[in-house]
Amino acid sequence: MLLEYIMTLFVFGLTTTVERSHIDAFAFEGTTTAPHHKHPQELSNLILESYENIEPQFENTTERDVIGAVGTTARLHCRVRNLGDRAVSWIRKRDLHILTIGIMTYTNDQRFLARHLDNSDEWVLKIVSVQPRDAGIYECQVSTEPKISQAYKLMVVTSKAQILSNRELFIQSGSDINLTCIAPQAPGPYTHMTWFKGGELINDSTRGGIRVVSEQQMKTSNLVISRVLHTDSGNYTCAADNSNSDSVFVHIIKSEQHAAMQHELATRMQIPKMLLVLLTFFYLLERVIK
């Protein structure tokens, strides 16, 4: 108890000394009264008032002319700084229809969705399975007084990647897979193209013997897989920017299976020829009898 009493006296004396030094300093400057210190609640109110006086502003760092291919997903990105407690809405300009408010959808067309991450300035309008009728102007609107808005233009194109081969391929084990994909109608001067097997991205590190060569300006991509094994069988997909993807199924077969299939194919091709010969024979025979 005695120790606590001594410590209390020491702290009180130290505080008094500091306060006196402040008063002396003001007296030295010709001031007889120490400045008034604001209460913490007053400071909090001042900070809040200052924050509320800051108006929301759009960031012009996002792309406002967006291209979407029919059947793909389009995204319009709107960034608003100093939003505070205001709400962000997406409006379709042609009919002034409110599509979303905050992260809630206000249309029966469930293809329109709002996306927003907590503590982010970005509000995204997501349009799933884009249709030609979706083309037009959309507005990102903030509920200030008066309201402020920023316009975005969605252009809809028909574009599909195309793998230059049959829908099913039969490749002999130990041979190479060689697939070429083109996307001539993909929008923009450059097109990024990727390959997938099943749902897995194919690249040089997937396994040895894989080579992917893409020409973004020519909008083409070539996939080569050397010395294929049975495990290389599967569905191969080519995907291009702002385009619908294309797929082929590759069957890896053994050499004896390959020979049997070639024989079966040759036999199938011979049967129509034999039928044609027989039909011709019977036709001529009927003419002779008449």
Looking at the domain assignment, is residue 285 inside a domain?
A: no
User: Taking 90 as the threshold, does the pLDDT of residue 135 lie above it?
Assistant: yes
What is the domain range of residue 112? Answer: 57-157
| DSSP β-ladder status, 168-172 and 246-253 | parallel
Question: Using an 8 Å Cβ cutoff, are 74 and 154 in contact?
Answer: yes
Model pLDDT for residues 24-79, shown as the tens digit of each residue: 443 434 444 444 445 555 555 544 444 456 889 999 888 999 988 898 899 999 99
Q: Are residues 168 and 152 in the same domain?
A: no
Looking at the domain assignment, is residue 218 inside a domain?
A: yes
Q: Are residues 167 and 153 in the same domain?
A: no
**Chain-centre distance for alpha carbon 237:** 18
- For the segment 268-274, the average pLDDT, to the nearest whole number, is 59
What radius of gyration do the chain's Cα atoms show? 37
Model pLDDT for residues 66-112, shown as the tens digit of each residue: 988 898 899 999 999 999 889 999 999 999 999 999 999 999 999 99
Exposed (0-12), middle (13-18) or buried (19+): which is 172, by Cβ within 10 Å? middle
Q: Which of 142, 143, 107 is nearest to 127 (CA)?
A: 107
Say which DSSP state 36 is in: P
Looking at the domain assignment, is residue 68 inside a domain?
A: yes
From 137, 157, 177, the end of a domain falls on: 157
CATH of residue 137's domain is: 2.60.40.10
Looking at the domain assignment, is residue 271 inside a domain?
A: no
From 109, 126, 157, the end of a domain falls on: 157
Q: What's the N-to-C CA distance of the chain in angstroms?
A: 139
**Chain-centre distance for alpha carbon 42:** 46
Separation in Å, CA 261 to CA 69, 207, 250, 264, 269? 40, 29, 15, 5, 12
The residues with which 157 forms a beta bridge, in sequence order, are 69
Say which DSSP state 37 is in: P
- For the segment 276-288, the average pLDDT, to the nearest whole number, is 62
Looking at the domain assignment, is residue 40 inside a domain?
A: no
From 118, 142, 157, the end of a domain falls on: 157
Q: Are residues 177 and 213 in the same domain?
A: yes
Separation in Å, CA 12 to CA 4, 7, 19, 143? 12, 9, 11, 54
Looking at the domain assignment, is residue 283 inside a domain?
A: no
Q: Which phi and psi angles does 83 have, rounded to 5°? A: -70, -35
Looking at the domain assignment, is residue 286 inside a domain?
A: no
Q: Are residues 183 and 237 in the same domain?
A: yes
Q: If pLDDT is split at 50, 70 and 90, which confidence band does 11 have?
A: very low
**Tokens at 190, concatenated:** 């450059």
Q: Are residues 22 and 95 in the same domain?
A: no
Q: What is the pLDDT of residue 48?
A: 45
Instruction: Say how many domains are in the chain.
Output: 3
Looking at the domain assignment, is residue 190 inside a domain?
A: yes
Q: Are residues 238 and 175 in the same domain?
A: yes
Beta strands in 51-173 (DSSP E): 57-58, 65-69, 74-81, 88-92, 97-101, 104-105, 112-115, 122-127, 136-142, 148-157, 162-163, 168-172
Q: What is the pLDDT of residue 187?
A: 82
Q: Are residues 71 and 113 in the same domain?
A: yes
Q: What is the pLDDT of residue 33?
A: 44
Q: Are residues 66 and 139 in the same domain?
A: yes
**Which residues have a Cβ under 8 Å from the Cβ of 225 and sit 6 or more positions away?**
176, 177, 209, 210, 232
Q: Are residues 130 and 109 in the same domain?
A: yes
Task: Give me the percent of the chain exceeding a pLDDT of 90.
Answer: 56
Q: Are residues 63 and 120 in the same domain?
A: yes
Separation in Å, CA 272 to CA 265, 266, 279, 281? 12, 11, 10, 14
Q: Are residues 177 and 118 in the same domain?
A: no
- For the segment 9-23, the average pLDDT, to the nearest whole number, is 42
User: Taking 70 as the threshold, does the pLDDT of residue 229 lie above it?
Assistant: yes
Q: Are residues 179 and 231 in the same domain?
A: yes
Residue type, 55: E
